[in-house]
Amino acid sequence: MTTDIVIYHNPECGTSRNALAMIRNAGIEPHVIEYLKTPPSRALLESLIARSGMTPRELLREKGTPFAELGLGNPDMTNEQLVDAMMEHPILINRPLVVSPLGVKLCRPSEAVLDLLPTGQQGAFAKEDGEQVVDAEGNRVST
């Protein structure tokens, strides 16, 4: 199926890998952007933040980043300063960020991506850690 879905992906991140696998389990091959290699422009990043309904602070990743060293936990930091930091250090952009005809969303946990897919799952799906997310009939498993 050809559907315009974009995933801002980090292949080193299990959550990102799981979201990508669920997109593919719906029969969709998304446009995969490894954002650490090809970061979005400032205008695109600001647009994605706005379209997701998030604030720049909500998109910031703390773990495994220079978040603390840069003082980004300071509540006085402006949205512009936070976006500046993400532009300078793309690792600060949390992932996976998924864009579909149904919206833009930070897919944490990874099964949040199911809300953005215009087609259902084609079969069972379990995350890398073995957690069952979709049953054999393609239905979301509630936790």
Q: Which residues are catalytic?
A: 13
Q: Would strands 125-126 and 6-9 be described as parallel, antiparallel, or unpaired? A: unpaired
- How many C-beta atoms lie closer than 10 Å to residue 21's C-beta? 16
Structural tokens at position 52: 């997701």
Phi, psi (deg, nearest 5) at residue 106: -80, 115
